[in-house]
Structure formats: C-alpha cells, structure tokens
Amino acid sequence: MDTKERREQLLQLLKQSQVPLTGTALANKLGVSRQVIVGDIAILRAAGVNVYATPLGYVIPVLQSTAVTTHFACRHGRDRMGEELAIIIDNGGKVLNVIVDHPVYGEIKASLMLSSRRELADFLRDSANSGAEPLSVITGGVHLHMVEASSEVILQKIEQELRTAGILVE
C-alpha cells in the first residue's frame, strides 16, 4: 500500500471509530511504525481534517447537531481534578478540552474529550503515572474547560454543581 492509500485508510479508521484509537493500535493495523502514524496525522491536520490527539488516542469528534457548548472557569489543585471532571461527566457533559492563559505564551489548549467514568479513570491513571503536572499548575490552579452537552439545562446543572463544590471561578 502506498502513502496515499495508507492515509485514506487511517482517515476511515478514525471516522468509523466510536472511541479514540492509540497511535500504536493504528500503526499495528496499518503495518507501520507509530512515528509514521504521527506524521500521517500531521499531514491530515494540514489538509484540514479535524483530528484531536487526546490522552486516550486519536479521534475525529462527531459533534451532535443539537449539542451546546460553554466554557467553565475553574480553580482547584491537582487533588480535586478528578472531582471536577466527574461533576461535569456525571451531569451529562463532555469535557472537550482544558485551556490556561500562560503569562508569556498566551493561551495553551489541550484536548481531553472525556465523557464517561471509564475515560475519566483512564485519564486520571495516566496522569498520575506520567508524573506530569496538570496545565493549571502554571496559573495557580485557574483554567477553563470547554464543555459540550445536549441542552442548556444540563450546562446549567453542571455550573451549579461546580459552584456548590467551590470549583467554579465567579
């Protein structure tokens, strides 16, 4: 298979998947190295394909046409990261990303794409095992999450629960 065919197959695998696919899994499926997949993803992005690299793997998000989104400004330490994300997920939200405003580099954004307790558990485990600090450490715990939900009512419920937990920045 040539490069063009491989990239077309890669794109189809990503479009058909309901869950994120790791670079290793894609490499095994297509018979190439993980680094080749990383390069192919970069080429697909340059061509305008909306591919997210999440902690769980690569994904092409399928946004529901009725979905609504908002940003929640939050503040907490690493010890409350799981609680915050669980509040959002348990109330019907999908955490699309985390954003911090770095004093030198400006906005730094990382895709999360978390919508279930299992994805959250995997994310928290990987975060703990990596030893890396969350992005919010550079802003004293202050960060934004873009959250998607099926209705404004769900977003309002999430906002109230974050407020009650003392996580929402007012």
Can you give the CATH number for the domain in which 126 is found?
A: 3.30.1340.20
29: confidence class by pLDDT, cuts 50, 70, 90: very high
Q: Are residues 85 and 112 in the same domain?
A: yes
Residue 56: per-residue pLDDT: 87
Which structure tokens are listed for 52? 């997210």
Residue 159: per-residue pLDDT: 97
Residues belonging to the binding site are 76, 84, 143, 145
Averaged pLDDT of the chain: 92
102, pLDDT greater than 60? yes
Q: Are residues 158 and 75 in the same domain?
A: yes
In a domain, 77, yes or no: yes
Q: What is the pLDDT of residues 152-168, one digit of tens each?
A: 999 999 999 999 999 99
Residue 65: per-residue pLDDT: 57
63: confidence class by pLDDT, cuts 50, 70, 90: low
Q: What is the pTM of this model?
A: 0.70
Structural domain range at position 126: 68-164
Residues belonging to the binding site for Ni(2+) are 76, 84, 143, 145
What share of the chain has pLDDT > 70, as a percent? 98
Q: Are residues 108 and 77 in the same domain?
A: yes
Mean pLDDT of 145-157: 95
In a domain, 170, yes or no: no
